[in-house]
Amino acid sequence: MPHLDSQQALKQDGAIFRPIMKPTRGYAAIVCALLAVIAWAAYAYWWQLRRGLGMTGLNRPVYWGIYITNFVFFVGVSHAGTLISAILRLCRAEWRRSITRMAEVITVLVLFFGVGNVLLDLGRPDRAFFVITHAHFTSPLLWDVSSISVYLIGSVIYLFLPLIPDLAILRDVATGWRKRVYRLMALGFTGTEQQWHRIEKAISVMAVIIIPIAVTVHTVVSWVFAMTITPMWHSTIFGPYFVVGAIFSGIGALITAMVILRKVYHLEDYLRPIHFNNLGILLLVMCMLWLYFTFAEYLTTWYGHEPIEMTVFYAKIRGPYAPYFWTMFVTCFIIPFSILCNSRTRTITGTFIASLSVNIGMWLERFTIVVPSLSNPRLPVEFHMYHPSWVEWSLMAGCFAAFILLYTLFTKLFPMVSIWEIREGREVAVTETVERIKTYLPMEPKGEVAK
């Protein structure tokens, strides 16, 4: 059980407190820039609201475009946090301690943009609540609404629980309005034995519950496509394929955030090369899993050679969507694989480049799943290439800007590294781990001990 000695924490882990206590240079400028992008996106949305979805580049039969791509992408990225942090917690991976918080925040924030993009995509957003009041349960969209809501609630709880002891520490050192906020949020946590016991119990229960929920969420997202009989959507491996892609892009997003936070907030002591190395290996594993699923998906399609599936297949491989497809292949596989498979390039910079590449690639992957299938329907319809309009690009930029803004705002209010978990690591886990390792080993023969 770690101590709740806030003065000592301040002394020992000052680097974690610094971003909260002192304004960083240039922060205001970044906020202004982000706000400008968001304001522009708001203007674009107002434009779309007034004139309708005609302001997008969509047509018949391409009824879905980059809003739905973003929806799938953001929900995928949300797997960064909760899922990865839950798995690492359950496996007692000791190196998790300084990265869980950063990961969990991504999940919670990015989910809003996932849901938000579906709302942006509606022809009548004013009627969105009909999904609840006139719910039709055979619709995969409704399954989405249900599972994402549960996931959102679960992830908020899962972010909040490990935050409580930190809030208590902050309450004791902060002044002014912050003190009041932290006191309110800390829920009277003082660090008694019983409180510690309860919180640790709650965290481990949540870590178990959240994993199946996370898997469900992205499976259901894939089912929005797979449940239709549209060529190259109607695939049984879409569920696991999307989950793998989600974790893949999630780790990518996490590493990206970690590198930036490390640099900006000088967390070099907390995020050490080993963290990037380990996450890099995880990313490499996901990269190969992604290749495996992609290969399985495309090979079965090609081998079966059903004409209608092949139209979509060729539209991706060598047709109008080939540039997207091959860029996806390079950014999702070639670049990350060649960087990560070598321990000499699996450095902080290396994993950063690989992660950025994966993020771009996974967005393109979602795009090449959504659009080419739609533009090649079963029956001949006049072909119109889908080009997203300025409104769509602006809203997409706005989503990214708003996400970054909220994320940085969070870093200004709450510690991005879990203070108490680091302390727990120092004070308790080191000896505990040694003891644990001993239990893995064969017992020493009795006679030896006697001697």
Partner 1 sequence: MARWGMAIDLDRCTGCQACVVACKQENNVPFSTPAQAEKGRQISWIYIQTEIEGEYPNVKVRFRPMLCQHCDRPPCTFVCPTSATYKNEEGIVAQIYPRCIGCRYCANACPYSVKYFNYDEPHWPKQLEASLNHDVSVRYGGVIEKCTFCSHRLTKAREQADAEGREFRDDDYQPACVQSCPAHAMVFGDLDNPHGTVAAWSESPRAERLLEDLGTKPKVMYLKGGA
List interacting residues with partner 1 (CB under 8 A): 51-54, 56-64, 118, 121-125, 127-128, 130-131, 134-136, 138-142, 145, 224, 227-230, 374, 377-382, 384
Q: What amino acid occupies position 107?
A: T
Under a CB-based contact definition with an 8 Å cutoff, are residues 252 and 355 in contact? yes
Which C-beta is closer to partner 1: that of 43 or that of 383?
383
Rounded Cα distance between 138 and 227, Å, is: 10
Least Å distance between CB 71 and partner 1?
11
| Residue 99 DSSP symbol | T
Least Å distance between CB 129 and partner 1?
9
Token output for 279:
């996450």
Q: What amino acid occupies position 230?
A: T
Intra-chain end-to-end CA distance of the chain, in Å: 36
Rounded Cα distance between 431 and 420, Å, is: 17
Least Å distance between CB 75 and partner 1?
16
Least Å distance between CB 161 and partner 1?
33
Contacts of 114 (CB under 8 A, 6+ apart): 70, 71, 72, 74, 75, 78, 148
Which C-beta is closer to partner 1: that of 53 or that of 84?
53
Least Å distance between CB 61 and partner 1?
5
Token output for 385:
């290439």
Which C-beta is closer to partner 1: that of 23 or that of 52?
52
Q: What amino acid occupies position 443?
A: M
Least Å distance between CB 73 and partner 1?
18
Token output for 184:
């309110």
Angle at 225 between CA 138 and CA 398, to 5 degrees: 110
Which C-beta is closer to partner 1: that of 50 or that of 451?
50
Helix segments in 25-129, DSSP class H: 27-51, 66-77, 82-90, 100-121
Least Å distance between CB 55 and partner 1?
9
Token output for 254:
């996490």
Which C-beta is closer to partner 1: that of 162 or that of 388?
388
**Nearest alpha carbon to residue 104 among 421, 396, 429:** 421
Which C-beta is closer to partner 1: that of 56 or that of 277?
56
Which C-beta is closer to partner 1: that of 59 or that of 204?
59
Least Å distance between CB 148 and partner 1?
13
